[in-house]
Amino acid sequence: MGSPDLGGLPELTKDEITRYSRHLILPEVGVEGQRILKKSRVLLIGTGGLGAPIAMYLAAAGVGTLGIVDFDFVDETNLQRQIIHGTRDIGRPKIASAKDRIKSINPKVNVIAIEQRLSSENALDIIKDYDVVVDGTDNFPTRYLVNDACVLLGKPNVYGSVFRFEGQVSVFYAQEGACYRCLYPEPPPAGLVPTCSEGGILGVLPGIIGCIQANETIKLLLGKGEPLINRLLLFDALKMKFRELKLSKDTNCPICGTHPTITSPIDYEEFCGLKKPAEEEPIEEITAIELKRRFDGGEEVQILDIREPHELAIGKLPGTKAIPFGQIVRRKAELDPERDTIVICKIGQRSVMAIRTLRDSGYNGRLLNLKDGMNAWAQEIDPRIAQY
Q: Which of 196, 253, 256, 272 is labelled catalytic?
A: 196
256 counts as catalytic: no
Q: Which of 366, 344, 340 is nearest to 353 (CA)?
A: 344
8 Å CB contact between 206 and 81? yes
182 counts as catalytic: no
φ and ψ at 169, to 5 degrees?
A: -140, 145
Q: Which of 150, 179, 272, 345 is labelled catalytic?
A: 345
Q: How far is 176 from 196, CA to CA, in rounded Å?
A: 32
CA 283 to chain centre: 27
Whole-angstrom CA distances from 183 to 119, 230, 232, 241, 243 are 22, 10, 9, 21, 16
Three-state SS letters, 66-107: EEEECCCECCHHHHHCCCCCCHHHCCCEHHHHHHHHHHHHCC
Q: Which of 293, 304, 319 is nearest to 369 (CA)?
A: 304
Q: How far is 236 from 164, CA to CA, in rounded Å?
A: 10
Active site residues: 196, 345
